[in-house]
Chains A and B, each alone.
Chain A
Amino acid sequence: MYDLNLLNKEEKDLLSNWEGVYKKGLLSLWILLSLNNKEMSMSEIKDFINDITDDYLLVDDNSIYRSLRKFYTLEIVDFAMKPNSKGPDIKIYKLSKSGEKILKAFIQRNIISIYYKDKINLLFKGNI
């Protein structure tokens, strides 16, 4: 892990701004990835994202809920109600066929075809 003490206050501020925008852009990817071949409730999606990113992406309930609501309207995700003995029924989300296709295309076009290239890996390594 990069030692943040090597950055001065201004650099830390710039890095924090950049990371904020970058992480915000990643939320949709992680939500859809969490539902890839799995069905999950909102809290399970949140735990999955926090867990798989080692708490790098600490997402709040509202952000996930807002995204899921939009994805549901756009038919990217579906949900079913699951009875809950402890309280109100829980929405269990899953990717729709359309969502699966979009996620697959996104990963192929924006992740695999870019970050999996040796050239790009060398570029990253040169900066570490």
Chain B
Amino acid sequence: MTKNIKIFAFFSLILSVLFFLILNYSLANFNQRYISYSISVIIIILLYSFTGEYLAQKDNQRKVKTNLTLMYLITPAVINAIIGILWVIIFKRSLLSLYIYIMIIAACLIFYIIARKFFIKNINKRKIFD
């Protein structure tokens, strides 16, 4: 893991906690708050994208064996899903949400395994020497 990925993971953690706090608050006051909730979600998604893009550009794939492109994609998804699971447990939300978050983590794991099979770092094995 590079330093930038760790920073991005920490940033994702903060954004995820913020997201679920806003979600929790909006669910309690949905009729009045859905516009501010929607705007907050858009801002959070944009923050994810810009931060990820910025940190990824400054990162160096050569330094690590893992596929950095994939790591920047799955890190926020996994962290968000973990916080989501905690949110379901702590606030006793629907089990359907719990299953969805578990499926997101499983999907990320599958992507990771597939990427390890077909890529070395972030380069497709078939295209290295073509």
Contacts and interface: CB of A to CB of B under 8 A. Distances in A.
Contacts of B122: 73
Interface string A58-90: 000000000000101111000000000000000
Contacts, number: 18
A31 to B, nearest CB: 10
Most buried by A among B62, B123, B129: B129
Interface in A92-128: none
A70 B121 CA distance: 10
A75 B123 CA distance: 12
Interface residues on B, range: 10 to 19
Interface string B45-85: 00000000000000001100000000000000000000000
Interface string B98-130: 000000000000000000000011110001111
Q: Which 7 A-B pairs have the closest CB atoms?
A: A28-B129, A73-B61, A73-B62, A70-B123, A73-B121, A70-B128, A74-B120
Interface of B: 61-62, 120-123, 127-130
Interface of A: 24-25, 28, 70, 72-75
Given A24-B130, A73-B123, A74-B121, 4 more contacts: A28-B129, A70-B123, A70-B127, A73-B62
